[in-house]
């Protein structure tokens, strides 16, 4: 997971083990819920959560729930009310590469890892490429 400021600068990054499960959509839902909890812990009140799972973003925004991960989606909807401003947007997979690289890294970890100010050497360049693809106005 990656947190950016309003200018697209990376504030923090997390690699959280044990989010893997049988359904990619459920896994993304669990990661989103974890991101919301981390944002709340940071005291952030105006947040935008991005996901490359269009079906998940649509279900959250349309208040629809399928049987897969409905409890997790209910948690997400409840957490949304805890922020002053909170929205969910779809981003293309190609523009979400930092999150996926961190998720792959998390597979080999035993504990949650957090970076602030000093990041893995590859993270800033990859994050900038993601921003350039999804939010050209930040460039």
What is the C-alpha to C-alpha distance for residues 45 and 42, in angstroms, rounded to an integer?
Answer: 9
DSSP structure class, residue 124: H
Q: How high is the mean pLDDT of the chain?
A: 81
Phi-psi bin for 61: left (phi > 0), alpha (psi -120 to 50), beta?
alpha
What is the C-alpha to C-alpha distance for residues 69 and 73, in angstroms, rounded to an integer?
Answer: 6
Is residue 116 within 8 Å of residue 87, measured between CB atoms?
no
Spatial neighbors of 63 by CB under 8 A, at least 6 apart, are 77
User: What per-residue confidence (pLDDT) applies to 81?
Assistant: 94
CATH number, domain at 122?
Answer: 3.30.420
**What confidence tier does 64 reach under pLDDT thresholds 50, 70, 90?**
low
The parent domain of residue 10 ranges over 2-138
Structural domain total, the chain: 1
**pTM of the predicted structure, to 2 decimals:** 0.77
User: What per-residue confidence (pLDDT) applies to 63?
Assistant: 66
């Amino acid at each position: 997971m990656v947190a950016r400021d309003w200018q697209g600068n990376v504030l923090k990054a997390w690699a959280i083990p044990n989010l893997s499960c049988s359904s990619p959509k459920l896994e993304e839902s669990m990661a989103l819920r974890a991101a919301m909890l981390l944002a709340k812990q940071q005291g952030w009140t105006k947040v935008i959560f991005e996901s490359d799972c269009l079906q998940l973003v649509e279900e959250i925004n349309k208040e629809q729930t399928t049987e897969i991960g409905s409890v997790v989606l209910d948690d997400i909807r409840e957490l949304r009310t805890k922020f002053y401003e909170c929205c969910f947007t779809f981003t293309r997979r190609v523009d979400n590469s930092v999150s996926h690289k961190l998720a792959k890294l998390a597979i080999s970890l035993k504990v949650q890892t957090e970076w602030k100010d000093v990041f893995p050497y590859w993270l800033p360049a990859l994050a900038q490429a993601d921003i350039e693809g999804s939010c050209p106005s930040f460039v």
